[in-house]
Structure 1
Amino acid sequence: MRIKTLVRDVMRQTIESISTTATVRACAERLRDADVGSLVVTREGDPVGIVTKSDVVALVASGEDLKNRTAESFMSSPVVTVAASRSVEHAADLLRKEDIDQLIVTEGGALVGVLSVVELSYYLPRFQYEAVVERGEDWSTSYEDREDEGLSVGDVVRFSQTITASEVEEFAALSGDTNPLHLDDEYAAKTRFRRRIVHGALASSVISAALARLPGLVIYLNQNLSFRAPVQLGDRVTAVCEVIDRVGEDRYRLRTDVFDTDDDLVITGEAVVLVDEAPAAE
């Protein structure tokens, strides 16, 4: 029942490239105008390196004369590639092994995309830029704020929790959903799942928990969900919610994904929330 997430499913398909002879200024302007974090450096159409925003910043901060510097002189090379048909887990292992944060994606020998730690962080909850900043007895959460203050496009909040058999039984009692698929081992063994699974509503509740960690008073307006795979009793599920659009003065649209213990995508969807200023504490 597992659905593997492949590199082609998460890669950035818009490829921004620049020639090896481009100046530092040209690289900086392309990064700014395209609003991307990296450029693929090419020679006669073939990828030979990568230039990132941090590469340009470091070069400018060095104070050296940049007049005669070209992309070829400070790019990361050789390029490391990954096939579009490989799993995101394989791509993550490759990034760790090579100690890099960008991979060039190929298919049939052709350049088809770029995959970075940023894209992987949405699909593999362990790929996070910030350490967990809040902990409970059995849950954890983190928040990536793309700007200095307030909620903005690109912000990402995560919430993780282990769902136990006792919590499934408590949820059934509270909600009235006593489907034996969730409660009866013998019954569940005869179904396509071969075992008890977690209620979909309970598994998706980590999305609401994640949204509650956004700055301000968060009010749900809309949520759509697609259930990709079952959540097993004892799985540690992680909601990854990214702000993808501002749809009004105080309304935001978010991509809402849930992953299981193995980092497989089990629930995907989008939500719209209203965010008011939180009442002042007395």
Structure 2
Amino acid sequence: MQIETLVEDVMHQTVETVSAAATARTAAERLRDAEVGSIVVTREGSPAGIITDGDIVRLVANGANLDEVEVTAFMSSPVRTIAGDASVEDAADILREHGIDQVVVTKGESLVGVLSIRELSYYLPQFLFESVIDTGEEWAGGYEDRDDAGLSVGDVVRFSQSISDEEVRRFAEISGDENPLHLDDAYASQTRFGGRIVHGALVSSAVSAALARLPGLVIFLSQNLTFRAPVHIGDRVTAACEVIENIGRGRYRLKVEVTDPEDEQVITGEATVLVEAAPATE
């Protein structure tokens, strides 16, 4: 069962507006005071365009007089809109189709939010990066050094495992998370999932297991994960982590993805790790 994330769940809920007759300076001051990255230009109450802080920077760099330039001269138009109850996948399609980085969210005739690539990427990391999953093999895990020159951008590490009923019950005991959704068949059968599911934290442990297979001593610094769908008892999950950035000083940013036996994404996100030389062993 896929858990749908809606635009209204992730949008920026503050919508700043200026009239079509406003100057660039008015727009710049509004952006500054509201501490937002975009502002909607309205004409007779309807959205006519959108301005970002980047648009203002370009004006200043080009030597424009902000008091003389009206917002209609440099706003992006027409404004692309999406309903708040649409899915984030629908929003991604609009951004791709029109080559834009922000979309205005509406509810009826009202403007209720703004959704940008930044917010969207938290929930759809695959919107920025291609899939790195290659499932179906019966291996437990492995490291793919794509350019054969040590840990670098493009390297991929994977881990695959089945999660049994015993492991779910042991995890509940160890963690203290005894939610009946994970342990009680009768209770779980009455929920939206129709049966027991695995703890999200236990599923995400496949990510840690994959990262442990990177060469060297791996220290987890941070992660930002979105749980996209449930995992059922007995399912085999596969985690894949691809190095997408060398931050420096031994730190790397990775794209994270976990899939179920049907290759459906159950977790997406990013992780940051510190990799040091492994200590010598006798």
Instruction: Please give the TM-score of this superposition, normalised by the length of structure 2.
Output: 0.57
In the alignment, which residue of structure 2 is the partner of 1:137?
A: 143
The alpha-carbon deviation at position 201 of structure 1 amounts to: 3.5
2:227–2:266 contact (8 Å) kept in structure 1:
no
1:20–1:43 contact (8 Å) kept in structure 2:
yes
Larger of the two Rg values belongs to structure:
2
2:40–2:50 contact (8 Å) kept in structure 1:
yes
SS of equivalent residue, structure 2 residue 162: helix
**RMSD in angstroms over aligned alpha carbons?**
5.0
1:105 aligns with 2:105: yes
SS of equivalent residue, structure 1 residue 5: coil
Separation (CA, whole Å) in 2 of partners of 1:117 and 1:226: 16
In the alignment, which residue of structure 1 is the partner of 2:247?
A: none
- Partner deviation per Cα, 1:93-142 (whole Å, 9 max, x = no partner): 1100000011111122322211111110111012349xx9xxx8279xxx
Quick one: structure 1 residues 61 and 163, their matched pair in 2 at CA, closer, same or farther if it must change by over 3 Å?
Answer: same
* Range with bigger deviation, 13-22 or 64-73: 64-73
The equivalent position to 1:168 in structure 2, one of 162, 168, 181, is 162
Separation (CA, whole Å) in 1 of partners of 2:18 and 2:2: 39
Alignment of structure 1 residues 189-208 onto 2, 5 Å: 200-205=200-205
In the alignment, which residue of structure 2 is the partner of 1:61?
A: 61
What are the ranges of 5 or more consecutive residues in structure 2 without an aligned counterpart?
A: 133-141, 146-155, 173-184, 213-218, 242-255, 270-274
Alignment of structure 1 residues 94-243 onto 2, 5 Å: 94-128=94-128, 137=143, 164=160, 167-168=161-162, 200-205=200-205, 229-231=229-231, 233=235
Separation (CA, whole Å) in 2 of partners of 1:37 and 1:70: 19
Separation (CA, whole Å) in 2 of partners of 1:39 and 1:59: 15
The alpha-carbon deviation at position 46 of structure 1 amounts to: 1.4
Separation (CA, whole Å) in 2 of partners of 1:211 and 1:163: 8
Quick one: structure 1 residues 2 and 35, their matched pair in 2 at CA, closer, same or farther if it must change by over 3 Å?
Answer: same
2:227–2:268 contact (8 Å) kept in structure 1:
yes
Percentage identity across paired residues of the two chains = 49
The alpha-carbon deviation at position 205 of structure 1 amounts to: 2.6
Separation (CA, whole Å) in 2 of partners of 1:57 and 1:66: 11
What are the ranges of 5 or more consecutive residues in structure 1 without an aligned counterpart?
A: 140-159, 179-187, 240-256, 268-277
- Partner deviation per Cα, 1:49-105 (whole Å, 9 max, x = no partner): 100011111111112344420111110001111111211101101100000011111
- Partner deviation per Cα, 1:180-203 (whole Å, 9 max, x = no partner): xxxxxxxx9xx9679997664431
In the alignment, which residue of structure 1 is the partner of 2:2?
A: 2
SS of equivalent residue, structure 1 residue 22: coil
Instruction: Please give the TM-score of this superposition, normalised by the length of structure 1.
Output: 0.57
In the alignment, which residue of structure 2 is the partner of 1:90?
A: 90
Aligned residues: 215
In the alignment, which residue of structure 2 is the partner of 1:50?
A: 50
Separation (CA, whole Å) in 2 of partners of 1:20 and 1:63: 22
